[in-house]
């Protein structure tokens, strides 16, 4: 279910930013089955627009290589906004290496594609807060 930029949902736990529609939809469905509120968009520009509507997820799941605005550019914009400077980012990408990582850009972990869904859920459980319950 794509994000509705016309409504603000304070319960959103995760913003999933991925241009591969099938991967994004299947991953989001599984995260919702785990009890998380998930908003989804297809690129970094759409993610910034979504955040600009007043949404503040507790975790961003981010692909790096996307059209319009890729992950690296999105992270730079995210970090330049004081409202989101501390928002953790989980990178899920074909160009990333898996593992926990704490860095100045707020990337808390990298998960390489293809990935095991259990690994994604494990990272999400570790880094996302469930709100509005």
Residues 116 and 50: their CA atoms lie apart, in Å, by: 28
Average pLDDT over residues 51-75: 93
Band the pLDDT of 82: cuts 50, 70, 90: very high
The model's pTM is 0.84
Place of tokens 């007043």: 54
Burial class of residue 10 in the structure, from the number of CB atoms within 10 Å of its CB (0-12 exposed, 13-18 middle, 19+ buried): exposed
Band the pLDDT of 114: cuts 50, 70, 90: confident
Domains and CATH numbers, the chain: 14-127 (3.40.50.2300)
Question: Is there a contact between 61 and 15 (Cβ–Cβ < 8 Å)?
Answer: yes
Kindly tell me if the per-residue pLDDT of 104 is higher than 60: no
Give 2-45 as a 3 state SS string: CCCCCCCCCCCCEEEECCCHHHHHHHHHHHHHCCCCEEEECCHH
Q: What does the pLDDT look like over 34-50, one tens digit per residue?
A: 999 999 999 999 999 99
């Amino acid at each position: 279910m794509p994000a509705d930029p016309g409504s603000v949902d304070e319960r959103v736990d995760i913003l999933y930013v991925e241009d591969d529609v099938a991967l994004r939809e299947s991953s989001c469905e599984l995260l919702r089955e785990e009890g998380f509120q998930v908003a989804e968009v297809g690129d970094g520009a759409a993610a910034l627009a979504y955040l600009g509507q007043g949404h503040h997820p507790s975790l961003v799941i981010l692909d790096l290589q996307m059209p319009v605005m890729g992950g690296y550019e999105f992270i730079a914009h995210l970090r330049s906004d004081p409202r989101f400077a501390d928002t953790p980012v989980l990178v899920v990408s074909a160009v990333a290496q898996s593992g926990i990582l704490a860095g100045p850009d707020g990337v808390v972990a990298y998960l390489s594609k293809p990935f095991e869904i259990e690994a994604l859920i494990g990272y999400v459980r570790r880094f996302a807060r469930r709100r509005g319950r």
